[in-house]
Amino acid sequence: MTTPIIGQVINLLASLLLLIAFAMLSQRRILSLINLFALQGLVLSVSTAVVAYSSSQHHLYYSAALTLILKVLILPSILHRLIRKLNVKWDVETLLNIPITMLLGIVLVIFAFNLAAPISQMASTITKGTLGIAMASVLLSFLMMITRSKAVPQVIGFLAMENGLFFAATSATYGMPMVVELGIALDVLVGMFILGIFFFHIRETFDSLDLQHMEKLKED
Amino acid sequence: MEILWVLVIPLAGGLLLALYGHRRFAPELNSAMSLGTLIAAGVLTVRVITGGPFSFFEEQFFVDSFNVFLVALTAFVGFTTALFSRPYMRIEQHHGKLTANMLRLYHAMYQLFSFTMLLALLTNNLGILWVAMEAATLTTVLLVSLYRTPASLEAAWKYFILCGVGIAQALFGTILLYFAAEKVLGAGGNALLWTHLNAVKMQLEPTVLSLAFVFLLVGYGTKVGLAPLHNWLPDAHAEGPTPVSAVLSGLLLNVALYAVVRSKVLVDGALGSHFAGNLMMGFGLLSVVMAAFFLLRQKDIKRLFAYSSIEHMGLMTFAFGMGGAVATFAGMLHMTVHSLTKSAIFFAVGHATQKSGTQVMEHIRGLIKTNPTIGWGLTLGTLAILGMPPFGVFASEFLILTTAMHAYPWTTPFLLVALGVAFAAIFSRVQTMVFGASSGQRLPHPPALLPVFAHLGLVLMLGLYIPPYLSDWYRQAVALIG
């Protein structure tokens, strides 16, 4: 493939990521949220592989494989098992209604593009145009964490934010050094296990995973 | 080699206690492992003092006088806290708050937490520093929620989400730093090594570095407990077991501040301006003032001292932000004395709450009558933390204040008012708890008060006399980061 086509493919995948981030923001059902998260991981993994091919950065193939295993297979299956075991209700209430959230999301995207513009100009990577999208998906996941009141969607937002950061690393610099990436992957995995245990504790104590029960600790 | 021992002992301790942490001898094993770490850290310190800074394992680890003093401090407070937690956790178990499995989790995580902090301090790779900081959050989440009460679960959840989001910002900052470094040092693992970055810091792209620093400061600043990102800190301190509050306040906050200061050195070099320092001064001053006024409204004794930690971390951030030889020296001295004093206070507070069966200050009375050592420990610790001479906190606060008066006179009224308000808030509360009629019960195990007085003795010594090797040590560190 020639470079311009590859550039187009990468941009296409990046815009898919942005689309998925918006889809997650508007999604009410927890099951679809997990599937969207897995899809986001898949797109991320493919785009990393394409970048690896076009820039002949071989270590990126390992990152792509790591993403595929961790974020498409392991984490979604842990989440699926968790919601089955915890018998979580299907619907997710949001604290803000969805049209307003989407509008806020658009504002965040514009902000992210403006913030990323000066940095993208300095980058020498083939993917430099996508840094804005990476920042936008980080901010959108952040918005999702703020607007959800249940524990599981908050965690999915947290993991999606990590995806956005990973994408930022690939688009600005062809990925972080391998040691660091392995370390981050380990942290995410351990964090997920700890949260799994934690969910059970929360539900045992509160009979629900709704975080609105957890607003006792306030300053009087 | 010494570096390896400092890291391997707590890691092995974590694994060992994951197996045997519920046994009768587990608290002693925990203390023994921490003692081993302390000895290894002592050997490492001696080597750095005599031989100067060195790196290890293809430069992946690096020790200089700045981080070695924190390593020694971390290992020391880690050991004394393990000593304190021996009777404390036994009493908690006796009161029926803990099961054997919870105790096993506690001991294993305590050692792993020490490991992650020492790794964060010793690594030369800024990416691994991030990984270790995140791992430190993960190990303490389950410690904060150890009692499984609704309040402790809420505190742990808040801690996880806020610090997780915060530390994600720090990851973005690290990515930006790598982005700038890669242009100068080339791609690969070495581009994130602090020593390499420090050598070429003049050539790093200033705009990228200033943006990176904003993200790093917000990210690690969340863990330092800087306002307005401090929300997790009082909850996590109040709801977790007291030994965990002691190490969170005394050690983790320092390690997070260490990460900020390391980044500041690079950014200062690249920008050649006082941008990073100004940001740190702003956040620091805001934390000092805000924490002082929140102190007035506290009812829970552990929350009270948690807010006092926010105040002192703010003061240190402010001192490092001012920069210059005296302020940086004072910042490091304050790091040392604050972590010793605050952990001593938490030891005394821990036994005081066990005696009274509550953390509500109104219901804690007459400590001096029932147990004079706890009462005096708390009184002296409080006087020390409030900056009374002749304790060491007075020396460092005095240096910070005089430098501020000289360099940034407009900050002086804010600092003085905040310190005054904090004094009034804490001293009046502690006075009523210590004196008066008593309400306490006898503890089933003799409390551990040696660590309290050992810490306070050291703080007193640092206020009266700083040994020459220690001041040399600080001066070398000042030259590195000043």
For residue range A125-137, what is the model confidence (pLDDT) as tens digits?
777 778 889 989 9
To the nearest whole number, what is the mean pLDDT of chain B?
A: 91
- Here the ipTM equals 0.90
Cβ-defined contact of B189 to A177 (cutoff 8 Å): yes
pLDDT for A61 beyond 60: yes
Residues 47-106 of chain A with CB under 8 A from chain B are 57
Burial A120-146 (b: 16+ CB within 10 A, else e): beebebbbbbbbbbbbbbbbbbbbbbe
To the nearest whole number, what is the mean pLDDT of chain A?
A: 85
Asked if A218 reaches chain B (Cβ–Cβ under 8 Å), the answer is: no
Per-residue model confidence (pLDDT) at position B49? 81
Confidence of residue B56 (pLDDT cuts 50, 70, 90): confident
Confidence of residue B305 (pLDDT cuts 50, 70, 90): very high
d(CA B397, CA B118): 27
Sign (positive or negative) of CA dihedral A42, A44, A49, A54: positive
Q: A96 near A212, Cβ under 8 Å?
A: no
Confidence of residue B355 (pLDDT cuts 50, 70, 90): confident
Cβ-defined contact of B153 to A184 (cutoff 8 Å): no
Cβ-defined contact of A180 to B125 (cutoff 8 Å): yes
B121, B29, B24: which is closest to B75 by C-alpha?
A: B121
Q: Other C-beta atoms within 10 Å of A103: how many?
A: 11
Q: Which of A167, A187, A206 best probes binding to B when mutated, by most B CB atoms within 10 angstroms?
A: A187
Per-residue model confidence (pLDDT) at position A121? 81
Q: Which residues contact B334 (CB under 8 A, 6 or more apart)?
A: B312, B315, B316, B319, B393, B396, B397, B400
Q: What is the mean pLDDT of residues A128-157?
A: 86
Q: B96 near B357, Cβ under 8 Å?
A: no
Per-residue model confidence (pLDDT) at position B422? 95
Q: What is the mean pLDDT of residues B162-183?
A: 90
**E strands present in B302-427:** none
Q: B379 near B434, Cβ under 8 Å?
A: yes
Cβ-defined contact of B176 to A197 (cutoff 8 Å): no
Per-residue model confidence (pLDDT) at position A181? 86
Residues facing B123 on adjacent strands: B61
Per-residue model confidence (pLDDT) at position A92? 67
pLDDT for B124 beyond 90: yes
Q: What is the mean pLDDT of residues B291-307?
A: 94
Q: Which residues contact B182 (CB under 8 A, 6 or more apart)?
A: A173, B191
Angle at B345 between CA B259 and CA B141, to 5 degrees: 50
Identify the DSSP state of B60: T
Confidence of residue A57 (pLDDT cuts 50, 70, 90): confident
Per-residue model confidence (pLDDT) at position B482? 64
Confidence of residue A83 (pLDDT cuts 50, 70, 90): confident
Full-model pTM: 0.94
pLDDT for B335 beyond 80: yes
Confidence of residue A1 (pLDDT cuts 50, 70, 90): low
Per-residue model confidence (pLDDT) at position B371? 84
Question: With pLDDT > 90 as the criterion, what percentage of chain B qualifies?
Answer: 66
Q: Which residues contact B157 (CB under 8 A, 6 or more apart)?
A: A151, A198, A202, A211, A214, B145
Cβ-defined contact of A119 to B208 (cutoff 8 Å): yes
Angle at A33 between CA A28 and CA A37, to 5 degrees: 155
pLDDT for B412 beyond 90: yes
pLDDT of B9-22, one tens digit each? 999 999 999 999 88
Q: How many Å lie between the alpha carbon of B292 and the closest alpha carbon of chain A? A: 14
Per-residue model confidence (pLDDT) at position A2? 67
DSSP string covering A164-213: HHHHHHHHHHSS--HHHHHHHHHHHHHHHHHHHHHHHHHHHHHSS-BGGG
Question: With pLDDT > 90 as the criterion, what percentage of chain A qualifies?
Answer: 30
Q: Of A143-157, B162-176, B384-398, which gets the smallest average pLDDT?
A: A143-157
Q: From the CA atom positions of chain B, what is the Rg in Å?
A: 21
Q: How many Å lie between the alpha carbon of B134 and the closest alpha carbon of chain A? A: 7
Q: Which of B58, B134, B175, B213 best probes binding to A when mutated, by most A CB atoms within 10 angstroms?
A: B175
pLDDT of A175-220, one tens digit each? 888 888 888 888 888 888 888 888 888 888 877 777 777 766 665 5
A86, A97, A111, A68: which is closest to A31 by C-alpha?
A: A86
Per-residue model confidence (pLDDT) at position A164? 92
Asked if A220 reaches chain B (Cβ–Cβ under 8 Å), the answer is: yes
Q: Which of A120, A205, A206 best probes binding to B when mutated, by most B CB atoms within 10 angstroms?
A: A205
Q: Which of A168-172, B2-6, B283-287, B372-376 has the highest mean pLDDT?
A: B283-287
Per-residue model confidence (pLDDT) at position A103? 92
d(CA A118, CA A122): 7
Q: What is the mean pLDDT of residues B184-191?
A: 80
pLDDT for A69 beyond 90: yes
Q: How many Å lie between the alpha carbon of A172 and the closest alpha carbon of chain B? A: 6
For residues A211 and B432, which has the higher predicted lDDT (pLDDT)? Answer: B432
d(CA A85, CA A120): 44
Q: Angle, to 10 degrees, between the axis of helix B65-94 and the axis of helix B325-356? A: 10
Q: What is the mean pLDDT of residues B227-234?
A: 90
Confidence of residue B349 (pLDDT cuts 50, 70, 90): very high
Per-residue model confidence (pLDDT) at position A219? 59
Q: What is the 3-state secondary structure (H, E, C) of B172-205?
A: HHHHHHHHHHHHHHCCCHHHHEHHHHHHCHHHCC
Per-residue model confidence (pLDDT) at position A89? 63
